[in-house]
Amino acid sequence: MEASPPIIIVKKKKGHGGHHGGAWKVAYADFVTAMMALFIVLWLMNASKQVQEAVGGYFKDPRGTAKRVGSNQNGSDAYVALKKQDMEKLKEQLLQSIHHLDPLDKLKNQIEITVTAEGLRIELMESAKGTFFELGSAKPTPALRDLLSVLSVELGKLPNKISIEGHTDSMAYTQAKGYDNWDLSTDRANEARRLMQAEGIRMDQIAQVRGFADRQPRLPAHPEDPSNRRVTLIVQYQVVNASEVPLPASVTSQNAAPPAGQKPSTAPSAPAPGRAGQ
């Protein structure tokens, strides 16, 4: 009996799969990595100096063994929580509180709240007849007292620092010798501080009180516009130490980047009202 011939199976290689099958995956991964790096760089270019230091500190020491990986102004170890949406929540809460105080929205055109790179900016703008301060004076009106009382109750619950700024229009203050727009803007900011501290803002919560006179107009093209006369409250992003208690559940905000600016300034109480343009 003759033996059966051997069976030979021939396997053919198909196309170029064996050589190039996974090359596209590597190229795609490199592309995604490059795009991610680009977006990080673009984000960092627009981030605050403190955030840049925190991110740079992580890459220099990812295990956190260095002495500092981003720090607050006192140089203590800290972590930076960036939750811009929390400021949006706070904005909505404040708007609701203001609406309860002013259900007819009579002050709607005099109040503007925006989320900025510094934090939550609350602008209290004057009208031509004076809404929050008597004309040419740092004496507050009942409208300002009521409004700051409502805002202080809400902001006093937060750990965030608050800066207060005073601004005037470009019309010169001439009726009081030795007293000018610098004094008036600072006095109005200081008066707002006193009212807020009396209504719930903690003494250690005030970070800065600054007067800018007419140097930072809201409407540069219209330097004499009444809305340039304003007091600005800035709820700063918070740098939070690991041992600190987080924000209340209603506004879980732990943000960074206190604003750079002038040193806190104070001035004596304003004299008698000057001209009606301030």
Beta strands in 72-220 (DSSP E): 79-80, 111-115, 119-125, 162-167, 206-211
* CATH code that applies to domain 81-240: 3.30.1330.60
Q: Which of 240, 275, 261 is nearest to 54 (CA)?
A: 240
Residue spans of the chain under pLDDT 70: 1-3, 10-21, 49-50, 57-58, 60-84, 175, 239-278
Residues of the chain with CATH 3.30.1330.60: 81-240
Q: How do residues 140-168 score in pLDDT, each as one tens digit? A: 999 999 999 999 999 999 999 999 999 99
Q: What is residue 89's three-state secondary structure? A: helix
Interatomic CA distance for residues 234 and 217, integer angstroms: 16
| Contact call for residues 127 and 116 (beta carbons, < 8 A) | no
Side-by-side strand order, sheet with 119-125:
111-115, 119-125, 230-236, 162-167, 206-211
What does the pLDDT look like over 74-122, one tens digit per residue?
443 343 444 667 889 999 999 999 999 999 899 999 999 999 988 999 9
Beta-sheet pairing, 111-115 with 162-167: unpaired
Using an 8 Å Cβ cutoff, are 196 and 225 in contact? no
